Amino acid sequence: MKKFELPKLDYAYDALEPYIDAKTVEIHHSKHHQAYTDKLNVALEGLEDIVRDLSIEEIIADVEKLIPAEKRQAVINNGGGYLNHNIYFDVMGIEHPEPSAELMKAIEEDFGSFENFKKEFADAAIAQFGSGWAWLVVSNGTLQIVKTGNQDSTLADNKTPILGIDVWEHAYYLKYQNRRPEHIENFFNVIDWQKVENRYKEAV
C-alpha cells in the first residue's frame, strides 16, 4: 500500500530558538505532523489505485478525482495537514535569512517593497479567524498572499504555496500564549529564503 512518511527536519529542534522554542518544534513535528502523516495514510486506504503514482501535491490539487466522495474530506484535512506542514518545516532555518536579488525583485514588483510584503503577510496571518495558515503563493506567475482555514491548501485554487506560517495555536501557544502577532513577527527571523526561492523557481 502507498505510504507517506514524515519528512525529517534538516535542523535541530532548538535551531529556531529564541524565535520558536525547541519544545514547540519538537511537539509540532514529532506529534502533530506525525499524526497528519498517519491519518493521511489511513484516509488513503481504499484509494490506492487512484493515488498510487500521485504526489501529495497532485492529490490535494485535485481531490475531486477521488472516488468514493466520502473519502475526500479526510484527505483534505489530513493530506492538507501533511502537505502544509511539509512546506512549513521545509522553509524554516537560519542559513539564508534574506531573499536573493532575484526573488527580492519579484517581491518588490508584486508588493511594492519588502516591508509591504511583510506587512501584508503578517496582516493575513493575524486576520485568519481561528485555526489556519497564511501563505505566499505563486498564481499565474505572480506572487500573492492568501490565507486558508483549517488544513485547506491553496493548491485547491491552483495557487502554488512557497512560504507558509501556521497560526494554529499549537504552533505558538507554549511560548506566546495568546500573542499571535508576536509569533508572526518573530517568524520572519526563521525563514530560509533559499528554500522559498527553490519553490518559487519551480512554481513560475
Residue from 104, 159, 154, 89 nearest 128 by CA: 154
Distance CA 103, CA 194 (A): 9
Residues that bind Mn ion (CB under 5 A): 166, 168
Q: How far is the CB of 82 from Mn ion (least distance, A)?
A: 11
Name the residue with the smallest CB distance to Mn ion: 166
Judged by beta carbon, residue 11 or residue 108, the one nearer Mn ion is: 11
Work out how close the CB of 166 gets to Mn ion at its nearest, in angstroms, rounded to a whole number. 4
Q: Which is nearer to Mn ion, 80 or 99 (CB)?
A: 80
Q: Which is nearer to Mn ion, 131 or 139 (CB)?
A: 131
**Closer to Mn ion by Cβ: residue 51 or 184:** 184
Dump strand ranges (E) for 22-170.
Answer: 132-139, 142-149, 160-166
Q: CA-to-CA distance for 199 and 120, rounded, in angstroms?
A: 20
CB closer to Mn ion, 88 vs 111: 88
Q: How far apart are CA 160 and CA 155, in angstroms?
A: 6
Q: Which residues of 171-188 are buried (b: 16+ CB within 10 A; e: fewer)?
A: bbeebbeeebeebbebbe
Is residue 165 within 8 A of residue 88, CB to CB? The reply is yes
Q: For the CB of residue 85, give the shortest distance to Mn ion in the complex, in Å.
A: 6
Beta carbon of residue 162, minimum distance to Mn ion (angstroms, whole number): 18
Cα 128–131–132 angle (5° rounding)?
A: 65
Query: Closest separation between CB of residue 91 and Mn ion, Å?
Result: 14
Beta-strand pair 132-139/160-166? antiparallel
Smallest distance, Å, CB 171 to Mn ion?
Answer: 5
C-beta of 104 vs 146, nearer to Mn ion:
146
Single-letter amino acid, residue 4 = F
CA atoms of 46 and 163, how far apart (whole Å) = 32
